[in-house]
Amino acid sequence: HQPAETSRQRHREADLVRRVVASFDQTPDPRLKELMQQVVRHTHAFLRAVRLTEAEWQKGIDFLTAVGHITDDRRQEFILLSDTLGVSMQTITINHEAYENATEATVFGPFFVEDSPRIPLGGNIAADAPGQPCWVAGTVRDTNGQPVPNARIEVWQADDDGLYDVQYDDGRTAARAHLFSDAEGEFCFWAVTPTPYPIPHDGPVGAMLTATGRSPMRASHLHFMVTAEGLRTLVTHIFVRGDELLGSDSVFGVRDSLVQDFVTHPADHPTPDGREMSGQDWTEVHFGIVLAPG
């Protein structure tokens, strides 16, 4: 960290850090003590490194106050802030170390809903959601390559207008469902081809993105949560190879291993289940899921 210019001043600053850290010495819970003392160390290291001015401190207070005031039961601006600073993705990365060939995790996001509709294998999660049909197929395996039957596969996505069903006011359920892998671990379903959408950017986090020349757009993706007995639950996305937003995803959720080939077929190309496309192009993607041991 860039130090103050004189040793007297360095001593004043370091002595304050020492006193604040020591104030947490009597914390009964050792983990809470560690967390608080490290929050103090890193926050003060930041202040000292940038030589924060009093006006900047006030702007920081004002920013956090605005984040707090826009947050309610439906809008969580602190999570948006965590997401856009990569804090959410780093927490996922720390807690989901890469395990052999297991599929990597990424951010959960705010749009998962419990009790999604169940669809059969080959069913359609889209319901009324607008979008280009997309056939998704794959197999769930463990890290030894053994198929995992009866894995619960939750899938959810934004529609072609960039919105999740819960972002509409009409209570609709669309573009989300769950299904189970078959006896050979295989699964397949219809969805819509993922398209980019912005995270909510009309609040203070959106203002931060604008001020720093960043885009609120998320790279196109389809959410998965896969659970199976005795295996580690996987929360992830698949991304679309060739999407120009892969390098600038606003929440840093992209991993190379999660980028998949979405192959476009003309309307008259036979569909896997005989579905009639009535003039509409469609896409097809394969996703081999590998679950780590529980």
CA dist., res. 257 & res. 92, Å (int)? 15
Shortest Cβ 82–Fe ion spacing (Å): 15
- The 10 Å Cβ neighbour count of residue 174 is 22
The verdict on 24 binding its own copies (CB under 8 A) reads yes
The verdict on 44 binding its own copies (CB under 8 A) reads yes
133-142 and 263-265 as β-strands: parallel, antiparallel, unpaired?
unpaired
Select the residue interacting with its own copies from 3, 30, 74, 86 (CB under 8 A): 86
The verdict on 152 binding its own copies (CB under 8 A) reads no
Residue 109 contacts which entry, Cu ion, its own copies, Fe ion, none (Cβ below 5-8 A, type-dependent): Fe ion
The verdict on 194 binding Fe ion (CB under 5 A) reads no
Give the residue with the Cβ less far from its own copies, 210 or 280: 210
The verdict on 68 binding its own copies (CB under 8 A) reads yes
CA dist., res. 64 & res. 109, Å (int)? 21
Amino acid at residue number 220 = S
Question: What are the b/e assignments for 228-258, b being 16+ CB within 10 Å?
Answer: beebbebbbbbbbeebebbeebbbbbbbeeb
Select the residue interacting with Fe ion from 44, 48, 103, 109 (CB under 5 A): 109
The verdict on 168 binding its own copies (CB under 8 A) reads no
Give the residue with the Cβ less far from its own copies, 96 or 125: 96
Query: Torsion angle, CA of 69/74/75/80, rounded to 10 degrees?
Result: 140
Give the residue with the Cβ less far from its own copies, 85 or 127: 85
Shortest Cβ 40–Cu ion spacing (Å): 11
Measured CA to CA in angstroms, residue 273 lies from 135, 179, 182 at distances of 10, 17, 16
Measured CA to CA in angstroms, residue 232 lies from 20, 91, 93, 153, 293 at distances of 40, 17, 15, 13, 5
12, containing H or E segment: helix 7-22
Select the residue interacting with its own copies from 145, 171, 213, 270 (CB under 8 A): 213
Select the residue interacting with Cu ion from 18, 19, 42, 69 (CB under 5 A): 42
SS3 content of the chain, % helix, strand, coil (to 5): 30, 20, 50
The verdict on 45 binding Cu ion (CB under 5 A) reads yes
Tokens of 49: 């490194």
The verdict on 9 binding its own copies (CB under 8 A) reads yes
Q: Which stretch binds Cu ion (CB under 5 A): 40-48, 141-149, 244-252, 273-281?
A: 40-48
Q: Where are the alpha helices (DSSP H) in 85-177?
A: 87-95
The number of residues making up the chain comes to 294
**Residues within the interface to its own copies (CB under 8 A):** 4, 6, 8-9, 12-13, 16-17, 19-20, 23-24, 26-29, 32-36, 38-40, 42-54, 56-57, 61, 64-65, 67-69, 71, 76, 78-79, 82, 85-95, 97-98, 208, 211-214, 248, 252
Binding site for Fe ion (CB under 5 A): 109
